Structure 1
Amino acid sequence: MTESKKTKEEQLNDLGRLYHSYELFGVKNTANTFFSTNQKCKEPTIVSYMLYALSKLKVNVSSEAEFMELFCADGYYAMLSVHLGYSRSYGLDNGKAKHFGNAEKIKKVLEVENCFFVRQDVNDLTVQRQYDVVANIGGLYHLGNPEEVLDKSYALAKNFLIVQNVVSMESNAEDYFVSPAPNWDWGSRYSRESFDKLICSKNWNVIDSHFNELESNEALSDRGSVYYLIAKED
């Protein structure tokens, strides 16, 4: 069977077990069970925030809305934003994990237009322009300076900021914070309470917040997940 005759499902499966399931695109690809289970935990809240923001931005059919996904990995939410109705999207990732290497390939298979991927470390990103909606999803725990990047995410957002972060369930202390070990690029941890305290200290306009558990993660330090939809005030 030539590649031109392969279905989208077959073309995605040729890439192996992917980081995300693409069922919302109408394609039932083979996804890594560990990650796809966590996707089912995170996706409903994140997508609802994306749609809420879009509904507020879409004054009419021709209204444009740009979406930026930080720490995009395989670019799932960047591609999904266009699928949901955003006019243009961007996905940024440092490319250290193998998932980013599949982003362009998946985009081509799914025939997603007006979605652009940028290989860049978020710490090197300058706030030279804003995007209507910025999604900071699942990357803060990789950083030694999560609050600094959180502030940058807010500055990048013109209208809405979506935040999802893994939090530890080993503690409920409001001052809990664990930095990554020396030479590690992951392991930064807040508790649910300490991260919420951090968000509240910013005096941002939090439209909605949510907490649930990532069911694939057995360790309590990796199991909690917090979500925030933040509106930029005029």
Structure 2
Amino acid sequence: MPSPDAEVRALQPWYHDFSRFGLQTQFPPRRADQLRALFNTLRRRLDPSYVEKGERFSLRRFLKPAPPAHVANQGAKEQVIEAYLQRCLADLPSAAPECLDLFCADGYYACLLATLRPNAHITGVDLDPQEIRRAQTAARLLKLPALRFEVGDVWDVTRAGRAYDLVLCTGGLYHLAQPAEFVRALRPVARRFLVVQSVVTLETDDPNYFVTPAPGWKHGSRFTHAALGRWLTEAGWRILDSALRELPANPRRCDRGSSFYCCAAG
């Protein structure tokens, strides 16, 4: 049976740094990892539908290794998301709340939820089977049995007819061509609270700004913090708090903003 370290290494690259939970998921780069990043980049160019979250290959990083952008940006996102989760959990009943983590990637925020509320029942959904394998491995190694991860389309979740006390939607809206419609579709899915985070542009603060596909991409979209707030309000959400931060590792201003909203059912 492989050691935990070998299991984690075999699943590189991880989108998040799990060290706060006592699980090492980030390692000094090896040539095989860099070649895998190159392969992922080529795969994206050949298959526009491929959506695995990971670092694109760059000659600069090949010659001078540095933490992947998503890991470098983690601190800028985690502080706000954790505060919003704690605020929502404080208003949920002590009995086991039902929670849903959409676009869960490697399950980092589902694991965070499980540590903040150990009795919660948490389901994570992501389209990428490799990310789900990472999430399942992390939950098992961290001994978090209440976590369940599924490969699935987030749109299918909105049509399943099931409701949750708390829905977490981080890092995924900007991958969609119709994020405003998705925000509306989430309305019956979240009984009590919705926590949203998305990349947004900092090139403008126009609440009507929206483009699809995203600049330089063949999929996704780009919009502003104000536009996301408008969509949430129009969908019937009551905004409890919001924040706009910068993602320091993203060089383009159209990718550099990070929008956060903590919402309650109206």
The normalised TM-score by structure 2 is: 0.76
Which of the numbers 82, 85, 96 marks the counterpart of 1:47? 82
Deviation at 1:92, TM superposition (A): 0.7
Q: Give aligned-pair identity as a percent.
A: 33
Residues 209 and 9 of structure 1, relative CA distance in 2, 3 Å threshold: farther
Q: Provide Cα deviations, 1:11-54, integer angstroms capped at 9, x if missing partner.
A: 53453342111123123431653211111110111111111111
Which of the numbers 22, 27, 31 marks the counterpart of 1:26? 22
> Which letter does structure 2 place at the counterpart of 1:208?
D
Residues 11 and 95 of structure 1, relative CA distance in 2, 3 Å threshold: closer
Which deviates further from its counterpart, 185-194 or 83-92?
Answer: 185-194
Counterpart CA distance in 2 for 1:39 and 1:9 is 22
Q: Provide Cα deviations, 1:143-171, integer angstroms capped at 9, x if missing partner.
A: 11111111122221111000111111112
Instruction: Give the match for residue 71 of structure 1.
Output: 103
CA contact 1:127–1:152 (8 Å) conserved in 2:
no
Which of the numbers 187, 196, 200 marks the counterpart of 1:167? 200
The equivalences for 1:142-181 within 5 A come to: 142-180=175-213
1:16 aligns with 2:15: no
> Which letter does structure 2 place at the counterpart of 1:212?
R
Residues 67 and 80 of structure 1, relative CA distance in 2, 3 Å threshold: same
Counterpart CA distance in 1 for 2:107 and 2:73 is 16
RMSD of equivalent CA atoms: 2.1
Instruction: Give the match for residue 106 of structure 1.
Output: 138
> Which letter does structure 2 place at the counterpart of 1:202?
A
Deviation at 1:117, TM superposition (A): 0.9
Counterpart CA distance in 1 for 2:218 and 2:123 is 23
**Structure 1 residue matching 2:220: 3-state secondary structure:** coil
The count of residues paired between Structure 1 and Structure 2 equals 223
Counterpart CA distance in 2 for 1:154 and 1:23 is 34
> Which letter does structure 1 place at the counterpart of 2:87?
Y
**Structure 2 residue matching 1:44: 3-state secondary structure:** helix
Counterpart CA distance in 2 for 1:117 and 1:141 is 22
What are structure 1's unaligned runs of at least 5 residues? none
Deviation at 1:138, TM superposition (A): 1.1
CA contact 2:236–2:265 (8 Å) conserved in 1:
no
Superposed structure 1 runs of 4+ greater than 6 Å apart: none
Deviation at 1:206, TM superposition (A): 0.9
> Which letter does structure 1 place at the counterpart of 2:190?
A
Instruction: Give the match for residue 210 of structure 1.
Output: 243
Q: Provide Cα deviations, 1:98-131, integer angstroms capped at 9, x if missing partner.
A: 4333222222222211111111111222141111
Counterpart CA distance in 1 for 2:127 and 2:253 is 27
Instruction: Give the match for residue 189 of structure 1.
Output: 222
**Structure 2 residue matching 1:29: 3-state secondary structure:** coil
CA contact 1:204–1:230 (8 Å) conserved in 2:
yes
What are structure 2's unaligned runs of at least 5 residues? 28-66
Deviation at 1:89, TM superposition (A): 0.4
Instruction: Give the match for residue 91 of structure 2.
Output: 56
CA contact 2:180–2:228 (8 Å) conserved in 1:
no
**Structure 2 residue matching 1:106: 3-state secondary structure:** helix
The normalised TM-score by structure 1 is: 0.86
